[in-house]
Structure 1
């Protein structure tokens, strides 16, 4: 029985998934830093790629992005989606795989979630409970 069937959840990513995800992330960050993606919206924003997650078969890569100041993230996502074919071709040359992964771009909400948790921990009600101990 596989691990995911025993626990009911999904299995953690394999070392290969993590390694290929990092290679894709580095190549995409390099493309963005060098301005090799010719799009006015992408050129007008500072874009960070904190994480790339790959499917177990390495055919689908979910790329999480953050824009500086969280400005126009939806427009940046659409621009990246428009340039997906070029980006995929560049990544295919950099990553030695049988098939280049299909890319899908998503907004990274990790930082927002961390801020929300910090705000909850700093709230007076939680402070009251912590100060009792």
Structure 2
């Protein structure tokens, strides 16, 4: 019995990564140049951090964040209203059999980085790191 390569928990394929990056770049350029007929989107500066594409390339989830992180809900709502026009731009730039359905989510990468830095800066963590370094030095 053959095994579906997507059921083994592997990461995205090279094609998914390549298509995701093309879509990310296209969305970033379209939003940056203000090519969307939306006053709300033209008034915002939105960063497209990552685009993840489903294995069948029919769904593309864009992780976005407005400049400064403020107005995230408004940005998602404006992107969803302009979804059809953005999909048209993506279809022109990325030649696929089907134009992927676009979904938008807030990019929480920077929040996670800040939380990680705060954890690493905690005095108890620093004490544990120093203790481990002392233990490693004693064994050598």
Q: Same fold (TM over 0.5)?
A: yes
Structure 1: which 5+ residue stretches go unaligned?
A: none
Aligned length: 130
1:79 is matched with 78
1:19-34 alignment runs, 5 A limit: 19-34=18-33
TM-score (normalised: structure 1): 0.92
Kindly state the Cα deviation for residue 5 of structure 1 after the two structures are TM-superposed.
4.6
The whole-number CA distance in structure 2 between the counterparts of 1:97 and 1:3 is 21
1:10-49 alignment runs, 5 A limit: 10-49=9-48
The whole-number CA distance in structure 1 between the counterparts of 2:128 and 2:95 is 53
Residues 29-59 of structure 1, C-alpha deviations (whole Å, 9 max, x = no match) = 1101110112222122211111000000000
1:1-133 alignment runs, 5 A limit: 1-3=3-5, 5=7, 10-132=9-131, 133=133
Q: What stretches of structure 1 move > 3 A for 4+ residues in a row?
A: 1-6
SS of the counterpart of 2:65? strand
The whole-number CA distance in structure 1 between the counterparts of 2:48 and 2:89 is 16
Largest Rg, 1 or 2:
2
The whole-number CA distance in structure 1 between the counterparts of 2:43 and 2:120 is 36
SS of the counterpart of 1:53? strand
Kindly state the Cα deviation for residue 129 of structure 1 after the two structures are TM-superposed.
1.1
Kindly state the Cα deviation for residue 64 of structure 1 after the two structures are TM-superposed.
0.4
